[in-house]
């Protein structure tokens, strides 16, 4: 199957797409009422609190809508653009797994699986290689609506059992017999040798925004705009240093603005602990920077930039991932990258894979295959903006110096 789309319109592209997933209703939503009441009760809230509430409020958060990714959603991602992304990323992990002696059982863990396309491509590679025995898939997903889409895609026609006793909340089996389970948090995933992957997951985690002023560092907060329509918000600065200013601004910081995601730090610390205790590796792919950018918090709606304070819950909120911060939270784990997605995919053989697919595709699939490839590797599209970062347990440092990790070094 060639699941390739012609879509322009990943989060930085502009494309008018199909009907909106959330409608154009400008009436006050329950989410907006909640946020307004909260600010009225406790005063201005941090951008991190706002982002968390808007994206993952269990009733009306943005990700609870379900159909947010793709041509008819608000943004598109590499796994949705082409199967070649999933194939390259699993080949990278499989090589390293084999270097570690191919331990089984092997747990594939995806954080924030969206529509399940990456997991589907990864499992297909294992099945095609005849290597799916002893493999399980564990999905960390906060959205019940998205988890239903994932289950329909990965486990069609099989019953999905809701779980009330175990740490997972749903379980099913793929047509090839792979066990799939859904978790709300990575902390709940069983302790086993694991390959973790997070594609466009960390950019959805809340950030604090901090700003240098003549009086010192202050936090950017969100308040009700007294001059605007009811329920209109605005950015304000904290009157004094907040805990985030004290905790996250390093001495000698040169930037005038910072974005920090402590929730991302907690996840990375947990991954580092898991890799140390149980063995495995983690691959993170996201748009981001290595501690250089300052002001990237933004919203996307129907493939267009959108005001993040306007109609909360109807647009995706995101901020570039600071890989230098993730590295600082990884303890003594071996970290690699970030390297640009284009060089990673090319080192993993995407050019050869493209030629193979072009040789076997139907004529009508050719243009889509090529446009998907260009979107993923073109430096002006996803090729440079998206970065790949990996973590390994520190015990493998010498081993991986002698046998360098695929995708991160030129052969």
Ligand X SMILES: C[S@@+](CC[C@H](N)C(=O)[O-])C[C@H]1O[C@@H](n2cnc3c(N)ncnc32)[C@H](O)[C@@H]1O
- What does the binding site for ligand X look like in residue numbers (CB under 6 A)? 55-56, 63, 69, 77, 79-80, 112-114, 140-143, 146, 199-201, 204
Nearer to ligand X by Cβ, of 5 and 394: the residue is 5
Q: Which is nearer to ligand X, 146 or 155 (CB)?
A: 146
Place of tokens 């099945």: 127
Contact 171, 190 (CB under 8 A): no
Q: Residue 113 CB, nearest distance to ligand X (Å)?
A: 6
Q: Cβ distance 405 to 336 under 8 Å?
A: yes
The whole-angstrom separation of Cα 209 and Cα 76 is 25
Per-residue tokens: 161: 């059992």
Strands 179-183 and 135-140 turn out to be: parallel
The candidate with the shortest Cα–Cα distance to 139, out of 106, 101, 86, 182, is: 182
Nearer to ligand X by Cβ, of 58 and 411: the residue is 58
Cβ–Cβ under 8 Å, residues 313 and 60: yes
Cβ 341 to ligand X, closest distance in Å?
12
H or E element in which residue 34 lies: helix 30-42
* One-character DSSP codes across 108-133: EEEES-TTSHHHHHHHHHHHHTT--T
**Which CB sits closer to ligand X, 234 or 273?**
273
**Least distance (Å) between residue 59 CB and ligand X:** 14
Nearest-angstrom CA–CA distance, 386 and 145: 27
Give the ranges where 179-285 is alpha helix by DSSP (H): 243-248, 262-278
Find the shortest distance in angstroms from Cβ 78 to ligand X.
7
In the complex with ligand X, the residue whose CB is nearer, 103 or 262, is 262
Q: Assess contact for 65 and 22: CB atoms under 8 A.
A: yes
Q: Name the residue nearer to ligand X (CB basis): 139 or 400.
A: 139
Distance CA 146, CA 124 (A): 20
Which CB sits closer to ligand X, 80 or 320?
A: 80
**Shortest Cβ 89–ligand X spacing (Å):** 11
């Amino acid at each position: 199957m060639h699941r390739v789309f012609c879509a322009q319109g990943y989060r930085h592209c502009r494309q008018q797409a199909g009907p909106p997933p959330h409608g154009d209703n400008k009436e006050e939503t329950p989410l907006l009422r909640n946020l307004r009441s909260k600010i009225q009760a406790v005063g201005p809230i941090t951008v991190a609190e706002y982002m968390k509430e808007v994206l993952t409020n269990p009733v009306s958060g943005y990700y609870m809508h379900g159909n947010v990714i793709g041509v008819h959603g608000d943004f598109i991602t590499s796994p949705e653009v082409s199967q070649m992304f999933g194939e390259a990323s699993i080949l990278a992990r499989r090589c390293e797994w084999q270097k570690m002696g191919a331990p089984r059982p092997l747990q594939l863990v995806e954080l924030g699986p969206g529509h399940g396309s990456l997991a589907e491509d990864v499992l297909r590679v294992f099945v095609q290689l005849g290597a799916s025995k002893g493999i399980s898939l564990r999905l960390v997903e906060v959205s019940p609506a998205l988890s239903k889409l994932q289950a329909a895609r990965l486990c069609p026609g099989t019953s999905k059992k809701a779980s009330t006793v175990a740490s997972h909340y749903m379980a099913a089996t793929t047509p090839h017999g792979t066990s799939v389970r859904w978790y709300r948090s990575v902390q709940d995933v069983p302790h086993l040798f694991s390959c973790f992957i997070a594609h466009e997951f960390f950019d959805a985690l809340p950030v604090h925004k901090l700003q240098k002023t003549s009086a010192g560092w202050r936090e950017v907060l969100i308040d009700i705009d007294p001059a605007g329509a009811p329920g209109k918000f605005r950015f304000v600065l904290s009157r004094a240093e907040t805990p985030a200013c004290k905790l996250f601004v390093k001495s000698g910081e040169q930037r005038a603005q910072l974005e920090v995601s402590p929730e991302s730090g907690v996840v990375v610390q947990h991954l580092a602990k898991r890799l140390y205790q149980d063995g495995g590796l983690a691959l993170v792919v996201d748009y981001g920077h290595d501690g250089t950018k300052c002001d990237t918090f933004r919203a996307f709606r129907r493939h267009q930039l959108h005001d993040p304070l306007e109609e909360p819950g109807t647009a995706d909120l995101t901020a570039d991932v600071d890989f230098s911060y993730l590295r600082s939270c990884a303890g003594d784990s071996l970290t690699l990258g970030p390297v640009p997605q284009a060089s990673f995919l090319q080192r993993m053989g995407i050019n050869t894979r493209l030629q193979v697919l072009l040789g076997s595709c139907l004529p009508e699939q050719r243009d889509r295959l090529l446009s998907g490839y260009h979107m993923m590797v073109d430096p002006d599209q996803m090729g440079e903006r998206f970065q790949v970062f990996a973590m390994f347990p520190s015990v493998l440092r010498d081993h991986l110096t002698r046998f360098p990790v695929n995708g991160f070094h030129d052969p």
